[in-house]
Chain A
């Protein structure tokens, strides 16, 4: 197997299967019908986030649903945010985020899982139904302008979709503290002048180098709103951890001790053929210790 084949294989493995896609569709329908019961046909409700941008990866995905009201509505942005929140809270456990309303997923064992649905209420800025304002429940500003269509187009035109998916998988498996939107912009910026965007090995190597060298001071602007400096979402400590994560991957690539495929396996923490490296199974027939701390 070549590194190219390896990267293409893990990419293939990140496609959602039919059952998972059906579950997403069912969840969207359920949430949409809850909102339609209250608001009828007033808002536009559609997929947002990675589903809309086609950058979803199987290993870590959420469902984003946008719920934008027409510009003519009399309700303020805050009224819209609160109204949608109350509507969802009648049926789900809702965790309000800065601009999204997060519906938490509870599995049959009453455990909160990391899969969730984010409903993003907003209001179109005009009749063209393109730009929209989102309410900001936290921070200095009360609203932010965005445009989902511009975000989708930005990714489509970039030709970096596969590199973005692999970068998201790298982030997930290496616990890199970077928001997905920031990472997407970072990938696109890194490969802006590349003539070989379909060469995944070269693209990821370039990304790691850019992350390592530039992430500390990088400034990234939202393509849908030049006033929105997306890179401000990265704290100083995040930037250090991202640079260090990228450095680890560069070190692996530069190592002389492994063949090229093994290096990529290590970068993607792919232990599929390496099960024995963590020792045989041990069953410990008691509860783990309760942790304690002195005040």
Chain B
């Protein structure tokens, strides 16, 4: 996959100095940003928005999280994403995984030592509409990811804006919420092809029959697809229509 960028601009550096003063840029190939990420974020679910470094005391108080993580960002894409890879290096997330007997994927990590899955690969351009820039990357992807980790640590559940299912089901869920584009359709198929249930998806996509919502769910639970993973079911329907 192609990286959005492999260098950062003076504007990016100024933003980092202002918003993440405890992070350092280490020039090299790949470029690395390392240090302490401090954030102060308030999630305003009523207005579907969030605020970084809010003034005053926004309510409800428990939706505001101020926290810090030791992190390491390598400007190198991964198998699934063209974004720089973020890892938490202080061991906090690993500790939660061990203590609460979770799998790394439950906290949206590819493995115990990271990297983090910041968003669905299909949503990357939606969240970075102007292309890659440090300010958007941190404020729309990195900080919300760590907010969600702190929220989980505190309340034992994922952040209130929710998360996608793992694997191809999550890809279909994000496909359902994205606008049509040929590139996105191709990317979606490429990603689903990597799922070990690709044969099932392929059969459903190639079949001339309409996709029935009362099919047993692909996740394996004995529940109808449309009830068990309704958004993924819509995504698969949309994908089937789009590739016709």
A-to-B contact residues, CB < 8 Å = 107-109, 111-114, 175, 177, 235, 237-238, 240-241, 244, 269, 271, 275, 277-295
**Cα separation A292 to B168 with both chains bound (whole Å):** 10
Chain A contact surface mostly: loop
Task: Say yes or no for B60: interface residue by CB 8 A criterion.
Answer: yes
Using A283-B49, A294-B167 as known contacts, list a sample of 15 further A-B pairs with CB atoms less than 8 Å apart, ordered by residue number in A.
Answer: A111-B60, A235-B98, A280-B18, A281-B54, A284-B140, A287-B48, A288-B144, A288-B147, A290-B123, A291-B117, A291-B158, A292-B108, A293-B105, A293-B166, A294-B194
Find out whether the CB atom of B51 lies under 8 angstroms from the CB atom of A283. yes
Question: B25-33, B35-43, B180-188, B200-208: which lies at the A interface?
Answer: B35-43
Of B4-12, B89-97, B209-217, B236-244, which binds chain A?
A: B89-97
- Contact (Cβ within 8 A) B53 A279: yes
Question: What CA separation (Å) do A282 and B135 show in the bound complex?
Answer: 11
**Which residues of B are at the interface with A, using a C-beta cutoff of 8 A?**
15, 18-19, 21, 38-40, 43, 47-55, 60, 62-63, 66-68, 79-80, 90-92, 94-95, 98-99, 105, 108-110, 117-121, 123, 127, 139-141, 144-145, 147-148, 153-164, 166-167, 170-171, 173-174, 194-196
A215 → chain B closest CB, angstroms: 15
Complex Cα distance, B148 from A114, in Å, reads 15
B155 touches A111 (CB 8 A): yes
- Whether B68 and A269, one on each chain, are in contact in the complex, defined by CB atoms closer than 8 angstroms, is yes
Among A108, A241, A271, A288, the most chain B Cβ lie within 10 Å of the Cβ of: A288
User: Contact: A288 with B43, CB < 8 Å?
Assistant: yes
* A–B pairs, 27, beta carbons within 8 Å: A107-B60, A107-B62, A109-B62, A111-B63, A112-B157, A113-B155, A237-B91, A237-B95, A240-B91, A241-B95, A269-B68, A275-B53, A278-B53, A279-B19, A279-B53, A284-B50, A287-B48, A290-B119, A290-B163, A291-B117, A292-B121, A292-B166, A293-B108, A293-B166, A293-B170, A294-B166, A294-B167
Cα–Cα distance between A269 and B127 once the two chains are bound (Å): 31
B58 to chain A: closest CB distance in Å? 10
**Of A175, A275, A277, A281, which contacts B51 at CB under 8 A?**
A281
Q: Is chain B's interface secondary structure helix, strand, loop, or mixed overall?
A: mixed
CA distance A111 to B174 in the complex (A): 26
Q: Find chain B residues with CB under 8 A from A113 CB.
A: 62, 155
| B48 engages A237 (CB within 8 Å) | no
CA distance A241 to B19 in the complex (A): 26
A291 touches B91 (CB 8 A): no
* Min distance, Cβ A278 to any Cβ of chain B, angstroms: 5
Complex contact A282–B51 (CB within 8 A): yes
What 4 pairs between A and B have smallest CB-CB spacing?
A288-B144, A289-B119, A295-B167, A279-B19
Bound form: Cα–Cα A180–B63 in Å: 25
> How far does the Cβ of B83 sit from chain A's closest Cβ, in whole Å?
11
The answer, among A175, A293, A294, for a CB contact under 8 Å with B67, is A175
Which B residues are in CB contact (< 8 Å) with A293? Answer: 105, 108-110, 117, 166-167, 170
Contact A284-B52, Cβ < 8 Å, known A289-B141, A291-B118 = yes
Q: Quick one: which of A238, A280, A281, A295 contacts B105, CB cutoff 8 A?
A: A295
Q: Which of A108, A237, A275, A278 contacts B98 (CB 8 A)?
A: A237
Do B52 and A295 have beta carbons less than 8 Å apart?
Answer: no
Write out the residue numbers on chain B whose beta carbons fall within 8 Å of the beta carbon of A271. 66
Q: How far is the CB of A116 from chain B (nearest CB, A)?
A: 11
Q: Whole-angstrom distance between the alpha carbons of A201 and B47 in the complex?
A: 45
Instruction: Please measure, in the bound complex, the distance between the C-alpha atom of A288 and the C-alpha atom of B19, giving whole angstroms.
Output: 18
User: Contact: A294 with B118, CB < 8 Å?
Assistant: no
Check B21–A277 contact: CB distance below 8 A: yes
B18 touches A279 (CB 8 A): yes
Q: Could you tell me the distance between the alpha carbons of A279 and B22 in the complex, rounded to whole angstroms?
A: 12
Contacts of B147 in A (CB 8 A): 288
What is the CA–CA distance of A280 and B173 in the complex, to the nearest angstrom?
34
Q: Which residues of B contact A294 (CB under 8 A)?
A: 79-80, 105, 110, 117, 166-167, 194
